[in-house]
Amino acid sequence: MISDNVDGFYGFRNRFRDQNDVLIGLMNRNRRHAGWNANETFALSIMSHDTTWARMPGKEFQQYNVTRKFSAPLIDGWPRESPKGTKLGYTKAIKSFSDQGGGYVSIDSSVNLNITLASRDILVDMITRGNIDTIIAIHDRFVDTLSHFWHWQISPDPDETNITLGNENNLSTFIIRGRNG
């Protein structure tokens, strides 16, 4: 696990071998400057097995206002960022796990999202268990005095994935399959 608590970047990687490595990036906006100025609060990037499972739009959002490429929570359908010059998000806790690339991160971005409470805890366990290379658990908490529409959006690369929608026990389900099936 690598981390930059000043800017708010946390990276996980299970090994350094080939296109089947698992890479996970979590972003928080802990400070804002000209070189890193995108809407990336609580952004998630996941790549493995020659597939991009979760991505971010980068500079495309500034040019085209495309929200469908965000793998992040959206409030009222949009990413949010605080104005320049304000105190931003921060890292509450961080712990790397020995003998693997995983770890635990807890971050706060209440100011970034301009709501009463916005926190994310992520646990990444990269101990291989049979066919399972990585387990990711995310716990988000959002609270505000105003009413909002909350969207938890993931954006896999459509050229590398196939999504099947379904219904089980009256609950919507989805399966994302990558290049390797």
pLDDT along the chain (181 residues), means of 10: 87 92 88 65 91 80 67 86 74 93 94 92 94 91 95 89 90 85 62
- Which residue range is the domain that position 73 belongs to? 2-156
Q: Is residue 173 part of a domain?
A: no
Q: Is residue 82 part of a domain?
A: yes
pTM here is 0.85
Structural domains in the chain (count) = 1
Q: Is residue 50 part of a domain?
A: yes
135 and 163 Cβ atoms separated by less than 8 Å:
no
**CATH code of the domain containing 86:** 2.70.98.70
pLDDT at residue number 172 = 85
Q: Is residue 45 part of a domain?
A: yes
pLDDT at residue number 145 = 96
